[in-house]
Structure 1
């Protein structure tokens, strides 16, 4: 009774709502489920995730003239660290170690070489290594293990 028929495909609105709730719970922007010949894709536009990126440059410009103020000067390094951070090339789930229980690929403060794997992003059951673009010291990791990430989200900073 709750199924709608569209072009020969049965669509269960309750199932689609459950998938939409899963997007909200996990913070993902889309999910696709395939069952035989039936494929359902639920997607949404994330405006909240884009807001920090849009506002990040403004404090940098505001802190330059107001350099004597202590609070804006303290905020400037955090903005700068994200400006120089390596950003996610895809949507997926971050893993900081090669497998559960194993040590992380790299720790904050450790020296890394260009090409060293810093973390993995799983996207569509494919493990994608994210490597250091240059040699340096790992200054910060801006994500947590098993956290979903969006495209262009800051991952880590090397200085």
Structure 2
């Protein structure tokens, strides 16, 4: 009976913390292993709904930018720029940061010239800062995300022409 009781002992605080990490980072599953104890927290995601939300979210992100006078010209020509330029996409779900720390200058801005390997921005996932680098040299023609914005896997972040 003591073995069964030992297996049933669950750290409710840890489970709550893991559940919060799932929600905060939009993950579907997280697992923690400590010796012979293993805790796995899962949530059901509707796979078909995620792409629909992603497609709807992208135009909404462009709409507020269209309201700004300087961005409206770039948004009007966004389709040709996307075709002529290369989209840099997020390799993961996380939070996008345009600078290394609050108050620091942004890594890049529209019109900046970058070399292959230059850091464009950071995507933070699970408290790990992941630099997103330029896949090639070119000029930044569009920033498709805002600072501290949540991003999805494969979401367009930057256009390099």
State the TM bucket, normalised to the shorter chain: 0.5 to 0.7
Structure 1 residues without counterparts, runs of 5 or longer: 57-73
CA shift, 1:45, in A, is 3.7
Partner of residue 108, structure 1: 110
Partner of residue 41, structure 2: 41
In 2, Cα distance between the equivalents of 1:50 and 1:129? Answer: 24
Structure with higher helix content:
2
Q: Calculate the TM-score normalised by the size of structure 1.
A: 0.61
Number of residues paired by the alignment?
A: 131
SS at match of 2:91: coil
Q: Calculate the TM-score normalised by the size of structure 2.
A: 0.61
Structure 2 residues without counterparts, runs of 5 or longer: 59-74
Q: State which of 95, 119, 123 in structure 1 corresponds to 2:121.
A: 119
Task: Report which structure shows greater RCO (CA 8 Å, sep ≥6).
Answer: 2
Contact 2:25 2:93 in 1 (8 A): no
In 1, Cα distance between the equivalents of 2:49 and 2:103? Answer: 33
The C-alpha deviation readout for 1:1-57, integer Å capped at 9, x for no partner, is xxxx9x515486xx76xx48x83xx582436486x767352332453441255xx9x
Superposed CA RMSD in Å reads: 3.8
In 2, Cα distance between the equivalents of 1:28 and 1:50? Answer: 14
CA shift, 1:128, in A, is 1.0
